[in-house]
Structure 1
Amino acid sequence: MSGYSPIKETLVLTRGADYVHRFQKAVADPDFPEGTTAEIVITRGTSMTAPVLATWPAYDVNPDALEFWVQTTETDAIPDRVNWRLLVHYPAQSPDSEVQDFCWMRGTVKREQ
């Protein structure tokens, strides 16, 4: 097989609670380079034309982890069983190269009350 299949995980949201999570890289993985950004994109469906319901940027990207803290006002608007992706954007390594967009994780949202 060629290509990469993102890790499949459930993203759990609870009514009235912020979403706070740290995505830690494995010890053997290289550090996230300076300039790396990340975001969680939530869509209604998995098709290329599925509407985007929310985009949550990481509040911190350090060499070891991606950190998210999303306020309740944003999380409570997300319905059950929609789809999410964690996209990591690695900076260009040279003036002639482009940003590398990598989907690390994907899955569905589960609402817990």
Structure 2
Amino acid sequence: MAEPSNHLSTAVENPEPSSSTAAEKEAEVNAPYKNLPVLRWSESSFQTLIAGIQMPEAYGAMYPQEGDTAGDAPAGYVSMFADWFGDCNLRLPLTVFVVEILEYYKIYISQLSPLGMIRV
């Protein structure tokens, strides 16, 4: 009898994962955000966004360095998606309503994608 061509067959062996070397483990600890996409917009686009939403200079918004990802924000800074301001109509300071929703669900704004922010 022929074996069915089911891709979920349990007859396939599951090889043990290879153990990581100490150097690989250290690299993972030192670069936890290595799989995030690299920044792909220009500083002039950033400046246009800041001017368009009238973000006060006191907020200290800054354009990341080339090659940075959302996980590379310096201490005290939060990475934010540009789409939050355009597509989601987010403005700073946050409204009491948005803050209460974030507190209720115990999430930080940096944990939301633009699609998640639209729902808020």
Question: Is TM-score (shorter-chain normalized) higher than 0.5?
Answer: no
From the two aligned structures, give the one with the greater helix fraction. 2
Larger radius of gyration: 2
TM-score using structure 1 length: 0.22
Does 1 or 2 have the higher relative contact order (CA < 8 Å, sep 6+)?
A: 1
TM-score by length of 2: 0.21
Return the structure number with greater strand share. 1
